[in-house]
């Protein structure tokens, strides 16, 4: 039976678990931030007294000497292994409407958080790691606002640049530390 998308009761998986992408060598990724969102997140962090690590994610250039412009940044997890968004309120009893941990900046959360679990717009694809997808399969609908946010990100990141670069974060499980690189690579 197909169900409309809704967060699974008490789930906070997407705010906690970070993945290696595109491979272990690139380290764990953070929440994607557009350049204007980076400034907003830094200011929210300051207001809330929260320490954040924001690294570049995607850069562009017209030659191979290195990225000249950063198209997107990433908000790294607070844990040593790269997990757990620093804005996730894991220490209080406050909970979101579906019972998961609450987000301290919910009303101003990044577009990437608003888009999840939609990760592709045409055709629409949801992240198979989302607990809803794992427990309930493909939803029948109710992902319009997520899709709208994803399309906004895609439009902002459109580029005619000749070279695209990806930043290796250097962050991941301690057992993988010898494999994980830091710095830019051409995509
Ligand atoms: S989007 Fe998916 S992984 Fe994230 S809290 Fe909702 S059900 Fe859980
Ligand atoms: S900003 Fe909020 S919604 Fe986004 S990952 Fe962090 S805690 Fe979750």
Q: Where are the domains of the chain?
A: 13-186
Q: What are phi and psi of 140, to 5 degrees?
A: -80, -20
pTM for the model: 0.96
- Tokens coding 99: 């019972």
- Cβ proximity of 124 and 143 under 8 Å: yes
pLDDT for 1 equals 73
Positions of the chain with pLDDT under 50: none
**Residue having the nearest C-alpha atom to atom 4 of ligand 1:** 14
d(CA 118, CA 144): 10
pLDDT for 71 equals 98
pLDDT for 41 equals 98
pLDDT for 2 equals 82
Q: 183 C-alpha to center of ligand 1: Å?
A: 30
pLDDT for 11 equals 98
Q: 104 C-alpha to center of ligand 2: Å?
A: 8
């Amino acid at each position: 039976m197909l169900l409309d998308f809704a967060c699974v009761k008490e789930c906070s998986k997407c705010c906690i678990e970070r993945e290696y992408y595109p491979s272990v060598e690139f380290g764990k990724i953070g929440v994607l931030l557009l350049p204007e969102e980076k400034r907003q997140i830094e200011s929210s962090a300051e207001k809330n007294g929260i320490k954040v690590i924001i690294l570049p994610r995607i850069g562009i250039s017209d030659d191979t000497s290195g990225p000249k412009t950063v198209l997107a940044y990433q908000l790294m997890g607070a844990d040593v292994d790269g997990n757990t968004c620093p804005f996730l309120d894991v220490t209080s009893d406050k909970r979101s409407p579906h019972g998961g941990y609450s987000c301290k900046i919910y009303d101003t959360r990044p577009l990437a958080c608003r888009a999840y679990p939609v990760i592709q717009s045409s055709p629409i694809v949801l992240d198979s790691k989302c607990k809803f997808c794992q427990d309930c399969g493909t939803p029948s609908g109710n992902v319009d606002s997520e899709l709208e946010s994803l399309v906004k990100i895609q439009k902002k990141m459109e580029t005619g640049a000749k070279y695209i670069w990806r930043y290796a974060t250097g962050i991941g499980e301690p057992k993988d530390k010898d494999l994980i690189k830091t710095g830019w690579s051409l995509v």
